[in-house]
């Protein structure tokens, strides 16, 4: 068996989901204050948090692909720049729960979908503004 063999994802979408998941998880963890940890908020470790974030990453890819198919003009930098804003919105939903430590729940995915759509639209408008003002 060749240990150097690269395993390709079954589809581009799976690779995009993985990339979005990585950057979303990284951004959410950065939003957590230094004096606490993922476990103190959600009652799970970072690895479990990443697994629980998978449906959110799927939704981000689905909605951004749909926007792109409908004519949105944004490049791959969306995944880097948008994740920071989405992470802040995600943690804002968590903070509003006023739950006891270790007992915060993951945000309702339908509620978070509205945030994703707003971020996509904002990013799209910003790219359009930049393109209109470029020589």
What pTM, to 2 d.p., does this model score? 0.83
Element (H, E) at 114: helix 109-132
State the average pLDDT over residues 24-48.
Answer: 92
| Among the ranges given (9-18, 34-43, 55-64, 119-128), the one the predictor scored with the smallest mean pLDDT | 9-18
Q: Are 64 and 118 in contact (CB under 8 A)?
A: no
Query: Can you tell me the mean pLDDT for 116-134?
Result: 82
**Residue 39 and residue 56: Cα distance in Å, rounded?**
19
Using an 8 Å Cβ cutoff, are 20 and 79 in contact? yes
End-to-end Cα, the chain, rounded Å: 54
Q: For CA atoms 63, 66, 70, 74, give the dihedral sign.
A: positive
Is it the case that residue 9 has pLDDT exceeding 70? Answer: no
Backbone angles phi, psi at 85, to 5 degrees: -65, -45
Share of the chain above pLDDT 90, in %: 46
- Judged against a pLDDT cut of 80, whether residue 20 lies above it is answered with yes
């Amino acid at each position: 068996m060749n240990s150097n063999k690269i395993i390709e994802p079954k589809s581009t979408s799976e690779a995009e989901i993985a990339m979005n998941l990585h950057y979303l998880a990284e951004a959410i963890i950065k939003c957590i204050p230094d004096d606490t940890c993922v476990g103190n908020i959600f009652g799970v470790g970072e690895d479990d948090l990443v697994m629980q974030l998978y449906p959110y990453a799927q939704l981000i890819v689905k909605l951004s692909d749909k926007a792109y198919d409908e004519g949105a003009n944004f490049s791959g930098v969306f995944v880097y720049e948008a994740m920071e804003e989405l992470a802040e919105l995600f943690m804002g939903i968590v903070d509003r729960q006023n739950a006891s430590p270790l007992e915060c729940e993951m945000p309702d995915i339908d509620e978070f979908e509205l945030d994703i759509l707003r971020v996509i639209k904002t990013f799209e408008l910003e790219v359009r503004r930049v393109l209109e003002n470029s020589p």
